[in-house]
């Protein structure tokens, strides 16, 4: 069955939320839009993480040793291999495929070990600074190089996590793995999870290492550090990335000063969550905005209504429902489902609708209308196919008229499809529960389900 933005756990029918897991759940057909930040390993209180950071640095600096002892061609080949780690599935690619750096860029990176005295003598203390020294190096390269250099650890971590969560392992032959002790790449046969569509191996990454932007990055360096003293360097009218990179290579002490400042500010460096709830005060403001909205489409009220509901529901139902997507089109591109959540079956009610209605994902149709009619019900009914199951929710402003309520009951009686209706009053209650923390907002859906089932013939 095809679902929207399937995750590995969904494909294998493993009832677990992202909140419950230490690693980021991989998507089957796209990358996770986050990156491993080696600075998080450096600042971590965990001896394991700091040891891994030291291993990354030692391995990266060993490339400099190879360059300076006449093995540049071998170092180039190693660096090219490190530059892409597709098994972790991090980034913004829609195809889960990336490209390694070429000879020219690898040579430019390795030349730093010869051209910059401080690096030639002591190596890097944070290799992320190559972003400030070589053009074309960004967060995805930093992340991939980091993962490649500790791939052996990540493989063990993935195997352990898979066994704990009953994720199937498949033999992967000839996976290139770097040995930090011998400083060589070696093909290994290992057992890893497999992408059910591409059949490629998957490696898990701890959530605590992930950020949208590395703590040390070019834009931050330019905006918060370099630009402050710009008059002493380059004419403002002649600013350009290439000139700045050249200046950094010739004045590496400037980059070192930036790194020292960022190290002192490390208390402000945290991992980025895969999903972040809006604050309670924001939820109250969204509710107030919702209550003031007119019904209909005047002044794009329908779009504003949808935006408010998406932001509210994604937050108030977390972590019991993981948000999947909004405005998701069908394969034909004609029908649009407004709001979709993964059903992780982590509450009795969610498990109940999964078992009774094959509900793998909860589809919600948002209607900013004064009164629901039969066509609104029919529209959601058409979405409830084999892919999603036979459970859906209509979110609207007011209680449906009696003829629509009868239509919903007849639909259950004839096709065993369950469509609930949530109104502004329900949304108000959800936000109040979200604020008070006394009960779960998702219980509002459970209440609507119980009340609906009482109306249906036994």
Could you report the per-residue pLDDT of 201-230, keeping only the tens digit for each? 999 999 999 999 999 999 999 888 876 655
Query: Count of CB atoms within 10 A of residue 60's CB?
Result: 20
Mean of pLDDT over the chain: 90
**SS3 sequence of 302-317:** HHHHHHHHHHHHHHHC
Asked if 157 and 117 count as a contact pair (C-beta separation under 8 A), the reply is no
- Encode 428-457: b = buried (16+ Cβ within 10 Å), e = exposed: ebbbbbbeeeeebbbebbbebbeebeeeee
Q: For residues 354-369, give the mean pLDDT.
A: 92
pTM score of the predicted model: 0.81
Supply the pLDDT for residue 327. Answer: 56
Q: CA 383 → CA 305, 356, 377, distances in Å?
A: 21, 17, 10
**What residues pair up with 172 in beta bridges, in sequence order?**
190
Query: Is the pLDDT at 234 greater than 60, yes or no?
Result: no
Listed range (15-24, 216-225, 226-235, 379-388) with the worst mean pLDDT: 226-235
Encoded tokens for 239: 């600013």
Mean pLDDT of the 80-101 span: 84
| Mean pLDDT, residues 366-382 taken together | 92
CA atoms of 439 and 433, how far apart (whole Å): 6
Nearby residues of 16 by Cβ (< 8 Å), 6 or more positions away:
9, 165, 344, 346
pLDDT, tens only, 314-340: 899 988 888 887 654 444 333 445 788
The answer to whether 434 touches 441, Cβ cutoff 8 Å, is yes
* Residues in the chain, overall count: 458
Instruction: Average the pLDDT over each of 97-106, 207-216, 441-450 and give the range with the smallest value.
Output: 97-106
Contacts of 407 (CB under 8 A, 6+ apart): 374, 377
Q: Which pair of structure tokens corresponds to residue 181? A: 């002790």
Q: 264 pLDDT band (50/70/90 cuts)? A: very high
Q: What string of DSSP letters covers 336-378?
A: EEEEEEE----SHHHHHHHHHH--SEEEEEEE--SS--HHHHH
Q: Residue 380, exposed/middle/buried by CB under 10 A (0-12, 13-18, 19+)?
A: buried
Q: What is the pLDDT of residue 5?
A: 79
Q: Which two tokens stand for residue 75?
A: 């170092």
- Quote the pLDDT of residue 279: 86
pLDDT at 386 over 80: no
Once rounded to an integer, what is the mean pLDDT over residues 291-315? 92
pLDDT band at 92 (very low <50, low <70, confident <90, very high): confident
pLDDT at 232: 54
- The label of the residue with tokens 């599935």 reads 89
- Closest C-alpha to 98, from 63, 140, 138: 140
What pLDDT band is residue 236 in, cutting at 50, 70 and 90? very low
Judged on CB neighbours under 10 Å (0-12, 13-18, 19+), 53 is: buried
Phi, psi of 202 (to 5 degrees): -125, 135
Distances (CA, A) of 420 to 229, 451, 452: 61, 10, 7
pLDDT for res 453: 94
Element (H, E) at 184: strand 184-192
Considering only residues 122 and 228, tell me which one the structure prediction assigns the higher pLDDT: 122
Give the pLDDT of residue 328.
47
pLDDT tens digit sequence for 125-176: 999 999 999 999 999 999 999 999 999 999 999 999 999 999 999 999 999 9
Q: What 8-state DSSP symbol labels residue 135?
A: T
CA–CA dist 87, 175 (Å, integer): 10
pLDDT above 70 as % of the chain: 92
Topology (CATH level 3) of domain 280-455? Restriction Endonuclease (3.40.91)
Domain segments of the chain as ranges: 8-268, 280-455
Q: Rounded distance, CA 238 to CA 221, Å?
A: 18
As a whole number of angstroms, the distance between CA 447 and CA 74 comes to 65
| Peptide linkage before 35 cis (omega within 30 of 0) | no
């Amino acid at each position: 069955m095809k679902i929207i933005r399937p995750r590995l756990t969904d494909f294998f029918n493993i009832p677990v939320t992202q909140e419950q897991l230490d690693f980021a759940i991989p998507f089957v057909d796209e990358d996770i839009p986050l990156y491993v930040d080696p600075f998080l390993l450096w600042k971590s209180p965990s001896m394991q993480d700091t040891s891994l950071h030291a291993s990354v640095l030692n391995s990266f600096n060993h490339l400099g040793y190879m360059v300076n002892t006449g093995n540049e061609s071998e170092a180039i080949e190693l660096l090219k291999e490190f530059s892409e780690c597709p098994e972790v599935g991090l980034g913004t690619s829609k195809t889960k495929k990336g490209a390694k750096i070429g000879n020219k860029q690898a040579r430019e990176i390795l030349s730093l070990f010869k051209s910059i005295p401080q690096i030639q003598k002591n190596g890097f203390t944070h290799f992320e600074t190559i972003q400030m020294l070589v053009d074309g190096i960004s967060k995805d390269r930093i992340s991939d190089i980091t993962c490649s250099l500790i791939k052996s650890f990540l493989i063990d971590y993935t195997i352990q996590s898979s066994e704990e969560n009953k994720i199937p392992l498949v033999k992967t032959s000839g996976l290139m793995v770097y040995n930090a002790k011998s400083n060589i790449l070696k093909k290994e046969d290992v057992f890893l999870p497999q992408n059910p569509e591409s059949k490629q191996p998957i490696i898990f990454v701890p959530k605590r290492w992930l950020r949208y932007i590395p703590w040390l990055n070019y834009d931050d360096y330019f905006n918060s550090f370099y630009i402050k003293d710009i008059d002493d360097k380059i004419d403002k009218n002649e600013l350009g990335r290439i000139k700045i990179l050249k200046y950094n290579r010739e004045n590496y002490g400037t980059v070192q000063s930036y790194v020292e400042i960022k190290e002192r500010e490390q208390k402000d460096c945290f991992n980025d969550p895969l999903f972040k709830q809006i604050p309670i005060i924001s939820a109250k403001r969204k509710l107030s905005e919702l209550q003031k909205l007119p019904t209909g489409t005047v002044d794009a009220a329908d779009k504003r209504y949808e935006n408010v509901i998406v932001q509210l529901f994604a937050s108030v139902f977390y972590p019991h429902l993981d948000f999947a997507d909004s405005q998701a089109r069908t394969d034909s591109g004609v029908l649009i489902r407004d709001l979709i959540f993964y059903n992780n079956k982590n509450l009795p009610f969610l498990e109940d609708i999964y078992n009774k209605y094959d509900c793998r994902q909860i589809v919600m149709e948002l209607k900013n209308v004064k009164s629901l009619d039969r066509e609104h019900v029919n529209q959601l009914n058409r979405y409830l196919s084999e892919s999603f199951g036979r459970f859906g929710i209509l979110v609207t402003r007011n209680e449906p008229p009696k003829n629509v309520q009868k239509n919903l009951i007849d639909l259950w009686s004839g096709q065993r499809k369950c469509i609930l209706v949530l109104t502004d009053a329900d949304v108000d209650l959800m936000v109040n529960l979200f604020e008070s923390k006394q009960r779960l907002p998702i219980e509002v859906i459970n209440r609507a389900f119980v009340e609906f089932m009482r109306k249906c013939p036994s």
